[in-house]
Amino acid sequence: MTDTPLIRLTGVGKNYGTIVALRDVSLEAAAGEVTCVLGDNGAGKSTLIKIVAGLHRHDSGTYEVRGERVAFGSPREALDRGIATVYQDLAVVPLMPVWRNFFLGSERRKGFGRLDVGFMRATSHAELAAMGIDLRDVEQPIGTLSGGERQCVAIARAVYFGAKALVLDEPTAALGVKQAGVVLRYIVQARERGLAVVFITHNPHHAYPVGDRFLILNRGRSIGYHTKDEITRDELTALMAGGAELEELAHELDAAGSSATARRLTDEAKDLGVTDT
């Protein structure tokens, strides 16, 4: 990839007091691509996307947007550069209609400050339909939608308001298989519309089918950063879930004397890049 990516983090670090939440992490997100950030609890995923989203500032390394160095002081500044973030606990007003939530904070008005309800209803309906979200009625309270549908409304909204990059923090974590599939489809749609998508998840089975790049974090460090052609789904899964354990197991077996198996496991762990030897 020779083009300057929309988002590029290089050697980024972040401390919370004495806690090192991130150390020397690099990542790129380009238009028309999905970059997945994987890792277990406490790996630093949310810290990383909070930096991208402008909620936190990095302590070391560089953050560039279209090749220009930035250090955002607020999410508004990130949004002004076209970087929209959808958090897992979506800020919606459950009793308000879908269209109201779609336009929340950016209401369309006509003369005398009156809300242009007709425009907002028709537009939210059309935009959701364009993303393939078929709601019977945009008048229904958003609280009646499933978690997956709500994520989809938030994605459609970001796209409509001109986001160039979409950051999604674990949008599929609380969802069942079918609903997660629906959200994954919208991630692909956002990519096809030319957005750069950063997709945070701890599930390699959600990441692999939609991802173009994969960053795997472990205790604040990168333990792998691969394009799709460099890694198989099995390798990604092993890296995520079993990598460290595999290495440990190899040491245990070695101590127990089953050296042939141990050697094979060590080699496997090495192939996956999870050893420091």
Ligand X SMILES: Nc1ncnc2c1ncn2[C@@H]1O[C@H](COP(=O)(O)OP(=O)(O)OP(=O)(O)O)[C@@H](O)[C@H]1O
Which residues of this chain interact with ligand X, rule CB under 6 A? 16, 19, 21, 39, 41-47, 202
Closest to ligand X by CB, 42 or 141: 42
- Complex with ligand X: residue 81 or 202, whichever CB lies closer: 202
Name the DSSP letter for residue 5.
P
Whole-number Å distance between alpha carbons of 73 and 104: 23
Closest CA to 175 of 214, 205, 136, 137: 205
Q: In angstroms, what is the minimal distance from the CB of 9 to Mg ion?
A: 17
Rounded to whole angstroms, the Cα distance separating 12 from 49 reads: 12
Residue 93 interface partner, choices ligand X, Mg ion, none, CB cut-off 5-8 Å depending on type: none
Dihedral of CA 96/127/194/6: which sign?
negative
12 contacts 23 by C-beta, under 8 angstroms: no
Q: Residue 49 class from Cβ within 10 Å (0-12 exposed, 13-18 middle, 19+ buried)? A: buried
Q: Least distance in Å: CB of 209 to Mg ion?
A: 22
**Pick 124 or 222: Cβ nearer Mg ion:** 222
CB of 21 to Mg ion, least distance (A): 11
Of all residues in the shown chain, the one whose CB is closest to Mg ion is 46
If the CB atoms of residues 47 and 101 are measured against ligand X, the closer one turns out to be: 47
Point out which residues bind Mg ion (CB under 5 A).
Answer: 45-46
Which of ligand X, Mg ion, none binds 156 (CB below 5-8 Å, type-dependent)?
none
Nearest to 22, CA basis, from 50, 44, 7: 44
Select from ligand X, Mg ion, none the partner in contact with residue 120, using the beta carbon and a kind-dependent cut-off of 5 to 8 Å: none
